[in-house]
């Protein structure tokens, strides 16, 4: 992200084939998934989740081939969101917002 930006998402995921970006003191490149909205699109983070605790909702956004985010999965209340990075991962909102 350059010398000017040091970001720390709430949660992140890096796939096995990209473990080389993990340094001793920092991650040297965009993760595959982050859970926090910010300037991640600009730097090529492939996925991010927005969690709306007041509305009990989650949006999953993915970076398209034009470098812009598009909505991949959304759920409210007791629904479930899916991850594009982790194909089998489904997160039930009922458990998240207990």
Residues 87-98 pLDDT 10s: 788 889 988 887
Secondary structure class of 93 (helix, strand, coil): helix
Residue 15's pLDDT is what? 87
pLDDT category, 38, cuts 50, 70, 90? low
Question: Which residues, other chains included, contact 49 with Cβ-Cβ below 8 Å and sequence gap of 6+?
Answer: 33, 34, 35, 58, 59, 60, 61, 81
Return the domain boundaries, the chain: 12-93
pLDDT above 80: residue 75: yes
d(CA 74, CA 10): 19
Mean pLDDT taken over the chain? 83
């Amino acid at each position: 992200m350059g010398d000017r930006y040091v970001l720390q998402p709430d949660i992140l995921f890096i796939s096995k084939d990209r473990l080389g970006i993990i340094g001793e003191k920092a991650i040297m490149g965009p993760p595959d998934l982050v859970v926090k909205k910010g300037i991640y699109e600009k730097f090529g983070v492939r996925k991010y989740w927005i969690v709306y605790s007041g509305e009990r909702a989650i949006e999953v956004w993915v970076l398209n081939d034009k470098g812009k985010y598009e909505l991949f999965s959304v759920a409210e209340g007791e629904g479930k969101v899916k991850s594009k990075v982790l194909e089998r991962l489904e997160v039930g909102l009922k458990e998240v917002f207990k």
